[in-house]
Every structure is written in C-alpha cells, then in structure tokens.
Amino acid sequence: MSIQRKFVLSVSVLIVCLMLIAVGLTYVRTNSAVNKQVTQSAQQLNSSVVKLLSVTDKLMQDRVASTMKLLLQRIEQAGPVALSQPVQVKDVMVPDLLINDVPQANNFKLVDELTDIAGGTATLFSRDGDNFVRVATNVLVNGQRAIGTQLNPTGTVIQLIKQGKAFFGQVDILGTPYLTGYTPLFNSAQQVVGIAYVGYKADLTELEASIKDSKLLSQGFVAVVDDKNRVRMHSDNQTTAAIESVLAGSDSDWTVISNDYPAWKYRVIVAINHDDVAALVRAEAIKMGFAVIFIGLLIIVLIAVLVNRFIAAPLTQTISRLTQITQGGGDLTQRLSITTKDEIGTMAQEFNQLLEHVRQTIAKFAHTSEALQHSAKDLSSLADRATSASTSQRQQTDHAAASIHEMAVTAQTVAQSTVDAEHVAGSVFELTDKANLQTQQLLKSIEQQQEKASASSKVVKELNSASEDIATVLNVIKSIAEQTNLLALNAAIEAARAGEQGRGFAVVASEVRNLAGKTQSSTDEIQTMIVRLQGNVNDVSSFSAAQQQMSENNTQSAQLAVDALQQVLEASKHINAINADIASAAEQQSVVAEDVSRNVETIKQGAEQNSAYAQETQNAANALQQAANEAKQLLARYQV
C-alpha cells in the first residue's frame, strides 16, 4: 500500500471518528437546543395566551367600569337607596330595594334601559340579612330572568361588599364566566343595603379561535383551565378527555407549562409531547449529521487532492526515477527533477550531487580499467615474445651442446692420433670458429632476453602501480558508498521522526540505501578482483625478477663460453706451431670442452626455466586481462 493511501486512509479514519464524535455532540447539542427552543416556544405561546386574556380583561373591565359608572349615576340621579318591606321575588321573600321610594323588586326598567344603552347585563341585589338576593336583573337562565337567586355567600365578592368595597373581576355566574363589577349601595345611614351589578359575558370568541388553532409541534396543545380544573378552551388537535388525562398526570410523556391568570382564576396550560420533541431532535440531528458527513467527505477529498499534489506526486516521480536508475541499466546520467523547494526538492538535489560524484568516480575507474586492459594486452604480448625467445634460445643451446660434443670428440681424436693433428687442428679451428659465432649469437639472444625481461619487469611494475591506483579509486568509491549509506540512514531516521508525513522520505531513503549497497557490493567484487590481480602481478613480478637473474647468469655463462671458445680458437691457430705439445693441448682442449659442455647445459636449463617463466608470465597476463575484462563488464552496467 502506498504512502498516499496509508495517509489518506489514516486521515479518513480520523475524520470518521471525529465525524462520529461531532454527530454525537451535535445530537446532544441539538437535543438541548430543540428542548430549549420548544420550551421557549411553549412559554411564548403561554405568554401570548395570557396577554390575550389580559387584553380581553382590560377591554372588558374598562367597559364594565364605564357601564357601572353609568348605572351609579342613574341611581344617584334617581334618589336615595333604602330597604322596604319584604316582597315576593319569584319563590323567595326579600326586602324590597327602594330607589327614591320606587320599588325595584321585579322592576326591570332600570337594568333594561342600562343594557339597552351599554349592552351586557345588569342586576340589583337587595340585602336579606347576610345574603344578597337578585331582585331585578336581565341575566337569563333557561330563558327566564334569574331573580330570587342569591349571590354566592362564600365568594370573594360578598366579602368585599360586606366591607363596603367594590369588586371588579371575572366571576362564574351560573356556570358562565362574566367580567363583572359589584358596587355596594348605601342607605342614608351609610349601611350596605344592596348591590349594583353590571357584567359582560366574557367574549372569548377570538381567544377560543386562537387557542383552537394553536398547537405545539404535532401533539402539543394549549388549554385554559378554570379554578375548578374545568377545561374552558383548548387546541383542536386533542380531545378534552385527553387533555384532562394529561393534566391529571397519568401520562408521563408530557411536559406541562402552566401560567396562572389570577384576575380570572384561570390557568393557561401549554403541554409538550416528548415524542414530538424526540422526532424533531432526530430530524435536526439527521440534518446536522448529513451536513457533518458532507463536510467530512469534502475534507477527505481535499486532503487527498493536496496530499497527491504536494507529496504523493513528487514522491512517485522520485521513486520512478530511482527505479529507472537501479533497474534501467545503471544509467548514472539521469537526474531527479527538482520542482519544489521543500524537503523533497532538497533530497532530490542532494541525491543528484551524489549521483554526479558516483558517475565521476566510475568514469575515472572505467578509464583506469581500459588502461589496465591495455597493459594486460602488452604484458601478454611481451610474454609471447619471451616464450618465443626462450624457445629459440633452447634450440640454439641444443645446437651449441652438440657442437661442444663434437669438439670433445675431436679433442679425443687429437689425443689419440697426433698424425692427424694438423687435419684435426684445422677441423677444430673451423668448428671452434662456428661455435664462437653461435655462442656470440647465443650471448646476443640472452642479452635481448635480458632486455625483454627488464621491459617485462617494468611493465609489471607499471601494472602493479595501476593496480594500486585502482585500489585507491575503489577505496574512494567504497568511502562514498559508505557515506551514501550513512546519509540514507540519517534520512530514514529523519523520516521516522516526521511520522506519517515522512514515510515517503523513508521509501526514498531505502532506495538510496539499496543503491549504495549495490555500489558497495560491486566495489567489493572489483576489490576482490584487484587483490587477485595484484597477487598475479606480484607473481609475475617475482617470475620476471627470477627470469632477469637467470638471464644475467646465462649472460655470464655465455660470456665464459665465448671466452673459452676464443681460447680454443687461439689454440687452434697455434696448433701447428706447438705440434710438439699437441697432446697436452688436446687434453686441455678436452677439459675446456667439458667445461663448455657443462656451461652450455647450464644455459640450456636456464633457457628451459626462462621458457617456463615466460609461460607463467603468459598465464598471469591472461588472468590480468580476464580481470580487466570482468571489471569492464561491471563498469558497463553503468552509463556515465
């Protein structure tokens, strides 16, 4: 798996984890926010209903106050108020209420005229002990005036009236809410003898319509409950029974927000269904979740594009070039392209410098290898010539040995017969002259062989020096490879410190270390060949030194042979003059011939050894040339 895929996969996993955490946090925050919002909405709805009640109450209270003022003005204009004898009012007997001595019991003129003007309802109460009974009213119950009925003896109104105080507010009149005003009527003694009442049936049509259309989410509702827990009005999405069940607390799936309206003794109820809230939370959470997922995917795509643009693409290009260098025939002329000024660009620049150093070193070594190959060829040629010269020397030595043998036979013949001394002396002279010529030729050949041996020794020394130069170059290459390996190791360490972002650098450092390892391995192979080559060169040098020494010995021996033959020649010249001493001279000649024979035999052996040394030199030259060819083949892997 590539670094890009690993990095993108890791970042994707991290972002997914963060997305899950974000979704969880979003759900929690959404749950809190939705609950808070729903609660605020419920409170606002509750407050709106209360405000609407307040507005309705204010408008109707103003109307009640205005109508009450009008009623009191009429009563005051009519005359004083007093109680009279009890009269029959429907089914009860109550004191009659007089206004300017006009009985008001069963007299509906005043209340009807008032309602004709101001609307609503009006009632006059007469005091009967601690009770107050309706004696004149236009409040209808079942189509009939509600006279003869008492004011609630335990209500707030009667308590204030007995204290001589008026009451304005909402009361339940025969099961119907009214906005009312109750004002005590005083007689001349300032005693409460009656009550003047005006009231308007609570006009809650608009409020009922508003509440009917109001609901919170799907199942939430709004309801108005009186002080007896009766549902006066509610949203039409729930039945009265269902609302009463919720208000009774039998259903735990609801949150109830209640707000009292003391003026009417009402409670405004707003109920929130938990299932509605949960559904809203889920819907909002899903929206937020999709938003988070979309943003996360967008971030992943953006990171993938950025990683590919600034990291993966340069690394891929760098790795491709490294692969071409390591697997493409060792082309050291290729260079990594430097398109950025970041760490990747710096690494490519440093690696290009390393490649240039390696290329220059290998180019120098290739030149040295070619020189080594030429030296090996020259050494091989010299070895061939030395072998040929040794063969010729051996042949001439054989011929000289045969001549010396004939000279010995002649000397014996001279010793046996002095009669033929002159003839033999002549023959000896000729043979000696021929032997002298041949020995001089042998001496020249040996001197030439010595010169060739010296040249071979010089070539071998140059070859040894070239081998040492190659070893020095190899040490430089090895040092550069070790430095490269160390640089790659440092790069790998720095990449490891960089973590996930440095994994691309670690791959490049690994490729560099592999290349440095291959370079060091090739250097070690060449070093091994050079060591073997130096060993062969040392052997050849030893052989050349021995051959030179033998040539010097052969030269001395040949010189002795020449001197001996010269003496034989001189003796032959004077043989006729010293015929008397011919026997002694023949004996001396025989001795000299034996010495010459031994010297020639020694020369022959030296020639054979020279031939063997020349063959060994040939073998060493072949080995040197083979090593040079192998080094050239190794260097051919690299294009410089």
pLDDT band at residue 68 using 50, 70 and 90 as cut-offs:
very high
Torsion of CA 83, 85, 90, 93, to 10 degrees: 100
pLDDT at 325 over 80: no
Average pLDDT over residues 301-307: 81
Digit-coded pLDDT (tens) for 192-227: 999 999 999 877 777 788 888 887 888 888 888 887
Domains in the chain, CATH or no CATH each: 79-203 (3.30.450.40), 343-636 (1.10.287)
User: Residue 376: its pLDDT value, please?
Assistant: 65
Q: Going by DSSP bridges, is the β-strand pair 81-89/92-99 parallel, antiparallel, or unpaired? A: antiparallel
H-run or E-run covering 509? helix 503-573
- pLDDT, residue 537, reads 62
**What integer best gives the mean pLDDT of the chain?**
78
Provide the H-helix boundaries in 168-312: 205-213, 240-247, 274-307
Q: What pLDDT does residue 138 have?
A: 92
- According to the per-residue pLDDT averaged within each range, which of 101-110, 327-336, 629-638 is highest? 101-110
CA–CA gap between residue 439 and residue 560 (Å, rounded): 10
User: pLDDT tens digits, residue range 427-481?
Assistant: 766 766 776 687 677 668 767 776 776 776 676 677 667 767 777 866 777 777 6
CA–CA gap between residue 488 and residue 496 (Å, rounded): 12
Residue 621: is its pLDDT beyond 60? yes
Output 181 or 226, whichever has higher pLDDT: 181
CA dist list (Å): 225 to 98, 154, 201 = 40, 21, 17
For residue 493, pLDDT beyond 80: yes
Contacts of 3 (CB under 8 A, 6+ apart): 311, 312, 315, 503, 504, 507
Mean pLDDT of 375-400: 71
At 247 the pLDDT is: 82
* Lowest pLDDT segment from 13-17, 134-138, 226-230, 395-399: 395-399
- Give the residue-averaged pLDDT of 337-348: 72
Query: What is the pTM (predicted TM-score) of this model?
Result: 0.42
pLDDT at residue 414 is higher than 60: no
How far apart are alpha carbons 6 and 301 in whole angstroms? 14
pLDDT number for residue 451: 76
Higher pLDDT, 344 or 158: 158
Q: Which residues contact 4 (CB under 8 A, 6 or more apart)?
A: 304, 307, 308, 311, 312, 315
- The pLDDT of residue 118 is above 80: yes
pLDDT for the residue 216: 80
Top-confidence range, 134-143, 219-228, 323-332, 375-384: 134-143
